[in-house]
Amino acid sequence: MLLVWIVLSLPVVLNAAPAVQFPFGTVRGVDRRAQGTGRVYYTYHGIPYAEPPVGRRRFQPPEPYRGADPGRVINSNDFPAICMQPESEEFGATSEDCLFISVYAPPTNATKKVMVYIHGGGFTEGGMRGYVPGRMVTDHEVIVALIQYRLGALGWLSSGDDVLPGNLGLRDQLLGLKWIKDNIARFGGDPNDITIFGLSAGGISVSSLSLSPLAKGLFTKVIIQSGSVAAPWAINKNPRALMYQYAEAIGCKPRFYFPGVTRMYHQNILNCLMRKKASDLVFEIGSGDGDVLGRGLFSSSGLNPVLDGDVLPMDPVSIIKDETYLRDNGVFDRSYVIGVTNNEGLLLANIIAAVPFLTFDQLTLPSNVIGQVRGSAKAQFPLGVSEEMLNVVDFMYTFPRNADGSIPFQKVIDLPSDIGFVAPSIALARAIADNAPVYFYLFDHYPQALLSLVPVRYQHLLRRVPKSLRGLDGNCQK
C-alpha cells in the first residue's frame, strides 16, 4: 500500500509548481495542464507590481510595489480582480486595486524566452481571465506574462495639462514591463529576451510603447496585431473636451468657468472625481457615437492614449518620420512582426451602414454613403487634399456599384480597414524596416466552423468571435 501511495504521488511531487521568493513574500504557483496535450506548466497569479492605485493614488502615475513581508504567501489558485470596467461574467470581479501580473512558465530548468501580452478591449475592458496561454508555454517552451492596467476613465482620462496628463494605462504597462525585466529571472526567464505583443487596443499599446522614450531597454522584440498607434483613431487629439463631457455626465463639472484659470478649473474637476466611488466612474462616453459625417470614419474622441509630452512626446505620425528620434530612443534596436487580418473594418463599417441586425449577405449601402467616404478621406489629410485625389478614393471604395446604385457592403468594409488598420500598419513597418528587422503578415484564414456557432450578426460577432478570426460569411468572402 505504501508503494502504491508513493507511485501515485510521484507525478504530483514532480510537477508541483515551485514557490518564488520576493521581498514582499512568497508567490506559491499552481501546476496546470495544457488543453489538448495535457502537458504541465506553472501558473503564478496575483503578483503585485504597483501600489494599489486607490485613495490618494487614484489618477496618479503608478508607484512600484514596496510591500515587505517575508511571511506573506500569495496563492495562485485563481485570477486576481480585473481593473474597473462594466461588470462582465467573462472577465470576473472588478476592483480599483488591480495592478497585477500573471506569469506562466514551463517546468524546465533552461533559461527561457519571455513573451509579455498586453490585452485589448478598447482601453475600457479586458483582463487576465480571458487569456490562458498553456499551449504557447508548453509547445514552445517560453514564459508568458500578462499585465493588467487601468481602464476607462481611471486609466485614460486627461485634462490636457499637468493636472491630469493622461496615459496612466500606458504608465502602468511601463512599470509592469520594468518589473518583468527586473524579476523574470526568478521564474527562469531571460530578461534580455523579452517580446511584447498585443491585439487591437493591445496592439496600439504595444506600438505606443515601441515609440515611447520611456520604454527604451525594457524589451527586445515586438509583435503588433491589428492595431497601430499611427492610426487616426488611436490617439485622442482633444482629451480636454472629453474630460468636460465626462465631468458633466458624472456631476463634476463646475458651474462657472473663468478665462485664465483653466488649471484651477481642471483641479476642481479632479477633486470631485477623487471623491466619487470607483463604481460611479465606470460608464461609456465619448466614443462610438456614429458621427462619421462630421469626424470621418476614423477619429478618436474616446478614452485612448494622448500626446502627453512624456510617454508620447509628439504625434506618432511625426515620430515615425523622424529617423533620428527612432534611433535615439531604441526603436531600431528591436525586431518586429506587424500584421492585420482580412476585413478589419467590419465592425466600423457596420456603424456607417446603421443596419446592425441584418446578416452580411443582405447588406448594401445607399449611394449617399459616398459623402461619408469623401468626408472620411478628407479627415485623414488636415492640410488639404485635392479634388482629384478624392475622386480616386470615390472610385476605389464606391465602384463597381449594384444595379440599383447602392454600394456593395464589402467596399465599405474595405475603406475603414485600409484607413484604420492596413495603411497605418504598413506606414509603421516601412518607417522601421530600413534599420531593423520587420516582418509583415496578413491573416486571411476563414474558419467556417467558428461562425456557424452563432448567428452572423454584428452584436454577436463583437463579443463572441476573436478579433483575429473575424471574417464575412461564405457568400461575401473575397
Supply the pTM of this predicted model: 0.85
Helix (H, G, I), strand (E, B) or coil at 172: helix
Cell readout for 364 is 448594401
- Which residue in 419, 309, 424 sits closest to 374, CA to CA? 419
* Side-chain-facing half-sphere of 263: CA atoms under 13 Å: 4
Same structural domain, 46 and 194: yes
The residue type of 358 is L
Together in a domain, 322 and 352: no
Q: Is 37 exposed, middle or buried (0-12, 13-18, 19+ CB in 10 A)?
A: exposed
Same domain, 90 and 154: yes
Three-state secondary-structure class, residue 120: coil
In whole angstroms, give the CA distance from residue 384 to residue 381: 5
DSSP at 397: H
The last residue of one of the domains, among 264, 299, 333, is 333
Residues 98 and 201 grouped into a single domain: yes
- Do 100 and 204 share a domain, yes or no? yes
Same domain, 18 and 159: yes
What does each of the 478 residues of the chain score in pLDDT, given as a tens digit?
Answer: 443 333 333 333 344 789 999 988 999 999 999 999 999 999 999 999 999 999 999 999 999 999 877 788 999 888 999 999 987 666 678 999 999 999 999 998 899 999 999 999 999 999 988 889 999 999 999 999 999 999 999 999 999 999 999 999 999 999 999 999 999 999 999 999 999 999 999 999 999 999 999 999 999 999 999 999 999 889 999 999 999 999 999 999 998 877 778 999 999 999 999 999 999 998 766 444 333 323 334 445 589 999 999 999 999 999 999 999 999 999 999 999 999 998 888 766 655 555 444 444 444 555 555 666 676 666 666 667 788 888 888 788 877 877 777 777 777 788 888 888 999 999 999 999 999 999 999 998 776 654 443 333 333 333 333 333 333 333 333 3
Compute the distance between CA of residue 471 and CA of residue 456 in angstroms, rounded to an integer.
Answer: 10
Query: Which one, of 12, 379, 44, lies nearest residue 189 by Cα?
Result: 44
Residue 468 CA neighbour count, 13 Å, CB half = 11
Establish whether the linkage from the previous residue to 466 is cis, with ω within 30° of 0: no
| Pair (410, 440) in one structural domain | yes
What sign does the CA torsion over 467, 468, 474, 478 have? positive
Q: Please give the Cα distance from 382 to 392 (Å, whole number).
A: 18
Q: Residue 214 sits in a domain of what CATH number?
A: 3.40.50.1820
Residues 6+ apart with CB under 8 A from 11: none
- Contact in structure between 359 and 457 (CB atoms under 8 Å): yes
Spatial distance between the Cα atoms of 140 and 142, rounded to a whole number of angstroms:
6
Residue 362 DSSP class: G
Range of the domain at 175: 14-235+313-333
For residues 102 and 54, membership in a common domain is answered with yes
Q: Are residues 326 and 373 in the same domain?
A: no
My answer on whether 317 and 412 are in the same domain is no
8 in any annotated domain? no
Q: How many domains does the chain have?
A: 2
* 409, 317: one domain: no
Contacts of residue 56, Cβ cutoff 8 Å, sequence gap at least 6: none
Contacts of residue 282, Cβ cutoff 8 Å, sequence gap at least 6: 84, 85, 86, 94, 152, 153
Residues 379 and 466 in one domain: yes
